[in-house]
Amino acid sequence: MPEVTLVEAINLALGRAMEDDPDVVVLGEDVGLNGGVFRATVGLQERFGSERVLDTPLAELLISGLCVGMAAQGLKPVGEIQFMGFLYPCLDQLVNHASRMRNRTQGRLTCPMVLRTPHGAGIRAPEHHSESTEAMLAHIPGLRVVMPSSPDRAYGLLLAAIRDPDPVVFLEPTRLYRAAKGEVEDNGEALPLDLAFVLREGRDVTLISWGAMVKETMAAAEALSAERIAAEVIDLATLKPYDENTVLGSVAKTGRCVIVHEAAHTGGFGAEIAALVAERGLSSLLAPVIRVTGYDTIVPMARLEQHYMPSVERIVTAARKACQYN
Amino acid sequence: MASKRANEELPVIARFEVRRRNCLAPDGSAVRPLPAFAADAKLLVELYRSMVLLRLFDRKAVALQRTGRLGTYAVSLGQEAVSVGVASAMREEDVLLPSYRDNGALLWRGVRLEEILLFWGGDERGNQFSGPVHDFPFCVPVGSQAPHAAGVAYALKLRKEPRVAVCLFGDGATSKGDVYEAMNFAGAHKLPVVFVATNNQWAISVPLRLQTGSETLAQKAIAAGFSGEQVDGNDVVAMRAAAEEAIAAARNGTGPRFIEAVTYRLGDHTTSDDALRYRSPEEVQAHWKEEPLARFRSYLVGQKMWTKADEERLAAECHERIEAAVECYLSTPPRRPETMFDNLYADLPETYVAQRHELAGEDDA
Ligand SMILES: Cc1ncc(C[n+]2csc(CCOP(=O)(O)OP(=O)(O)O)c2C)c(N)n1
Ligand SMILES: [Mg+2]
């Protein structure tokens, strides 16, 4: 099997979906000849033509609204927002239309669209290119929010997102676009959208993360093993609706739960998981739940961004603290 | 046919026109009597010097980026006359709302080279610049500064201050609701604001014809209730003249104006872009014939306002200024990590003090 980067896996999935289903349409800024600023759509316009791979005007609200209209007509639009920092004009369309079209028309119209966008910091990008605001999206009923952390999961989850009958926001960890490499078989097989992935088994502490932070979380688990702490690592992958059972099952086994995310602390998705564990897993807890997160401030620009993002060391310290608690 | 005839009988209720302004031909000759300010040799030379400084500074910035000492950077190559021409027509007390590509305007207004480097080097202190305190920083989310300009202009009008907001954005930005909404409001309230669209034909890889079906960008102002003019954006005399007129009109209470500056992005979109992926070198080459610096230099030389010796002196001066700025930038150490909490709020809420301490390494909990 060939090794590909995460962004190449995205490209493979898009190509496969378009090949398999003539209703799949790709649209966004610079997605055509340029192949997207991260090259996620490279070659697609050549293969499928400029009607199905469409360079839109510079207007994010338009992109998301077009997707709603196309989806209601039975197309399967995959919109690209160039960076998550430019997603916010789409919120009107996501909250007021995409997420509730099925519900408000009682199933008469539906919205099988995907909105893809790069997520997170760590590539020394300019201002407004580094935020992680997934919790805001995961708060919207009717939406699915998915974030892969490896090429194979990017491939399988994107196929699932495109085939899903409901709107999906697909967040792609920018920092891993080229850094994450792995084997991907372009076999058209989707992965389930509502299951978390247990990447490493362990009985002492559960580490839960998603997106780019999975990398540091896995490295922390490795470091902890040298201290004879066996960490279980869960890649949540789908934040909405998320796999509560895998989380609760793991915490029931380990009794300790550390949640790692790059987004700011307050109101981050870690708070949701901590609440779940408090509500339904309290009896198995041997230590307080700990969150290792970005800080409650504006993501600083390049010179300080490394200090903003949770480090392996911070994760290890938190896990150790959870294990030492009694 | 019958319906066509019937339509012709319907009265025309509005007619519009869009004019195009130019002063200097690409060879530097004057195509019409020049505006009054063109008699001021000192001013013209200053315009030229600023454009040259900008071009040389851009070149250095790209070199820094290529050697890992600067972040993503957007050059003004080919468009120098727009930002410099517009800024030169502003008064200090006017308010500038620039896009990320308007270095020329910031420099004219007193922002220091090293501050621009700090910003693109990923240091927030670059936005705490030496330009007018009321000016806005670079705007990265495309077009989102346009509503700010309308807000600024509303405030100026409310306080009856004879000041003007000047907002710069690209051709791509004109596709955003932000820009239409701002222009619409400005038109409805006759606000003292000038919108300048730098039409460099490209928004990254998207050519203007995919951006809009409109014949000109200038005509977009008409629907908002004010006039728009197309200007040769490679002609700094025309740019300055158009901006001067528009700003004066806005200051005099006649409401907003719109300028479409037609130019061409001779460089890559930014240092992260490779324009060869989507446009031919021949196309770019053809536009070099119209670029703003050579044209203006020809005019100045023809008028005996500029000599070869001046040119050499200027190059040396720019070199010195740029090297000093680079030196200053590179020797500015990053801020301490905990400063990311500085200026988050007027006063840091107690809730976040512990996080700041943790960053400062003062946490031993
Ligand atoms: C709202 C928004 N969407 C996308 C981007 C990414 N982006 C940066 S510049 C650019 C093209 C802008 O084109 P234009 O407005 O013509 O200005 P130019 O770069 O040509 O000066 C894009 C798509 C952005 N910064 N903001
Ligand atoms: Mg442009």
Give the C-alpha separation, A303 to A319, whole Å: 28
pTM score > 0.90 for this model?
yes
Query: Would you say A245 and A271 are in contact if contact means Cβ atoms under 8 Å apart?
Result: no
- If one counts the domains in chain A, the total is 2
**Architecture of the domain delimited by B16-27+37-272+279-334:** 3-Layer(aba) Sandwich (3.40)
Query: Would you say A89 and B180 are in contact if contact means Cβ atoms under 8 Å apart?
Result: no
Please tell me which residue of chain B has the smallest CA distance to A297. B341
Same domain, A23 and A98: yes
Q: How many CA atoms lie within 13 A of A275 on its CB side?
A: 7
Cross-sheet strand order for the sheet of A238-240: A53-55, A24-28, A76-80, A114-119, A168-173, A144-146, A238-240
Domain end marker among A131, A159, A183: A183
Tens of pLDDT, residues A35-93? 999 999 999 999 999 999 999 999 999 999 999 999 999 999 999 999 999 999 999 99
Same domain, A213 and A284: yes
Does residue A189 form part of some domain?
A: no
Which residues does chain B have within 8 Å of residue A86's beta carbon, measured at their own beta carbons? 141-142
Tens of pLDDT, residues B244-264? 999 999 999 999 999 999 999
ipTM, two decimals, is 0.96
Same domain, A16 and A154: yes
Same domain, A178 and A201: no
Tens of pLDDT, residues B97-151? 999 999 999 999 999 999 999 999 999 999 999 999 999 999 999 999 999 999 9
Same domain, A146 and A21: yes
Query: pLDDT at position B365, please?
Result: 45
Same domain, A125 and A219: no
Interface of B with A in 222-261 (CB under 8 A): none
Query: pLDDT at position A326, please?
Result: 78
Give the C-alpha separation, A16 to A116, whole Å: 16
Query: pLDDT at position A1, please?
Result: 81
Same domain, A289 and A237: yes
Q: Does B364 score more than 80 pLDDT?
A: no
Q: Does B204 score more than 50 pLDDT?
A: yes
Give the C-alpha separation, A323 to A1, whole Å: 39
- Which range marks the domain in which residue A159 is found? 3-183
CB of A244 less than 8 A from some CB of B: no
- Return all residues near B236 (Cβ < 8 A) that are at least 6 apart: B47, B48, B51, B80, B81, B84, B85, B292, B296
Q: Does A266 score more than 50 pLDDT?
A: yes
CB of B334 less than 8 A from some CB of A: yes
Q: Do B273 and A308 touch (CB under 8 A)?
A: no
Tens of pLDDT, residues A307-318? 999 999 999 999
Return the ligand 1 atom nearest residue B141 CA.
Answer: 26
Give the C-alpha separation, B133 to B150, whole Å: 18
Same domain, A267 and A174: no
CB of A308 less than 8 A from some CB of B: yes
The helix/strand/coil state of B327 is: helix
Q: Does B187 score more than 80 pLDDT?
A: yes
Which segments of chain B belong to CATH 3.40.50.970?
16-27+37-272+279-334
Q: Does B2 score more than 80 pLDDT?
A: no
Percent of chain B at pLDDT > 70 equals 98
Same domain, A52 and A111: yes
Q: Ligand 1 pocket test: which of A58, A63, A80, A130 has the largest number of ligand atoms within 8 Å of its C-beta?
A: A58
Query: pLDDT at position A209, please?
Result: 98
CATH number at residue A178: 3.40.50.970
Does residue A191 form part of some domain?
A: no
CATH number at residue A276: 3.40.50.920
Query: Is B357 among the residues known to form the active site?
Result: no
- Return all residues near A249 (Cβ < 8 A) that are at least 6 apart: none
Does residue A156 form part of some domain?
A: yes
Which of B71, B177, B344 is closest, CB to CB, to A126? B71
Query: pLDDT at position B8, please?
Result: 76
Give the pLDDT band of residue B225 (cuts 50, 70, 90): very high
Domain end marker among A183, A212, A240: A183
Please tell me which residue of chain A has the smallest CA distance to B358. A295
Give the pLDDT band of residue A268 (cuts 50, 70, 90): very high
In chain A, what is the straight-line distance between the N-terminal and C-terminal CA atoms, in Å? 47
Kindly give the distance from the C-alpha atom of residue B262 to the centroid of ligand 2, in angstroms, as a whole number: 10
Q: Whose CA is nearest to atom 8 of ligand 1?
A: B142
Give the C-alpha separation, A76 to A88, whole Å: 22
Same domain, A235 and A112: no
Same domain, A237 and A141: no
Does residue A260 form part of some domain?
A: yes
Same domain, A43 and A133: yes
Give the C-alpha separation, B187 to B183, whole Å: 6
